[in-house]
A and B are shown apart, each in its own frame.
Chain A
Amino acid sequence: ETGVTQSPTHLIKTRGQQVTLRCSSQSGHNTVSWYQQALGQGPQFIFQYYREEENGRGNFPPRFSGLQFPNYSSELNVNALELDDSALYLCASSLEGARGNEKLFFGSGTQLSVL
């Protein structure tokens, strides 16, 4: 196991609602990345937080927002949910941020279904 924990494991929401997903990073890691994985696809990068600052962002709209806390845990917030937001949301922790050592340790993910 990686030591990265995510909650909840499953979630069902309706279109237009808001959701918050949580992630606790592996001990000693200061960077958290969030990925969205649709069925049959590779993980798509949403954003990364390094020492509480956003360190990079993928091609996702502003209704996807995040936060990293002083203990390096993190939240992913999605507003105005759409049907296409249904996916597995993966959190990954790593050490040192974008410094050439981006070995990712993934949590088990949160499976979000939007009805």
Chain B
Amino acid sequence: GQQVMQIPQYQHVQEGEDFTTYCNSSTTLSNIQWYKQRPGGHPVFLIQLVKSGEVKKQKRLTFQFGEAKKNSSLHITATQTTDVGTYFCAGGLGGSYIPTFGRGTSLIVHP
């Protein structure tokens, strides 16, 4: 089963509202990656974080890696309809860098 937990499973927002998804593991992660999958599509790589406490930004998206390297978050500011999709975190478990995916958070943006 999945060893990388992700919440919430679904999130409905009005366009312009912010959105955050959280990722947690019981064990230390080698790294954390984030992917986006549009409905009917395949996962597309967004970013990778490796260092403890690392923060990276991509336009309206902010990614954080926890100090203990056991959790991560993705925050989207002022959502747009183009942000619709499922966001997956994927972490390297047990010293491996092979990504183990969370269940994903599906973002629904209402215009």
Contact = CB atoms under 8 A, between A and B. Distances in A.
Interface of A: 2, 33, 35, 41-45, 48, 55-56, 90, 98-109
Interface of B: 2, 6, 30-31, 33, 35, 41-45, 48, 50, 88, 90, 92, 96-104
Contacts of B103: 41-42
Contacts of B45: 103-105
Contacts of A45: 98-101
Contact of B33 (A2, A48, A55, A102): A102
Given A42-B6, A102-B31, 10 more contacts: A41-B103, A41-B104, A43-B88, A90-B43, A98-B97, A100-B30, A102-B33, A106-B42, A106-B44, A108-B41
A48 B98 contact: yes
A42 B92 contact: no
Please indicate which of the listed interface residues A43, A55, A90, A105 has the most CB atoms of chain B within 10 Å of its own CB.
A43
B35 to A, nearest CB: 8
A99 B97 CA distance: 7
A41 B90 CA distance: 13
Contacts, number: 60
Contacts of A41: 103-104
Instruction: Report, nearest first, the 8 A-B pairs whose CB atoms are least far apart.
Output: A42-B101, A106-B42, A102-B97, A42-B103, A43-B101, A42-B104, A56-B98, A106-B43
A103 B33 contact: yes
Contacts of A90: 42-43
A55 B97 CA distance: 11
Nearest to A88: B42
Contacts of B90: 42, 104
8 contacts: A35-B101, A42-B88, A43-B101, A102-B92, A102-B97, A103-B33, A107-B42, A109-B42
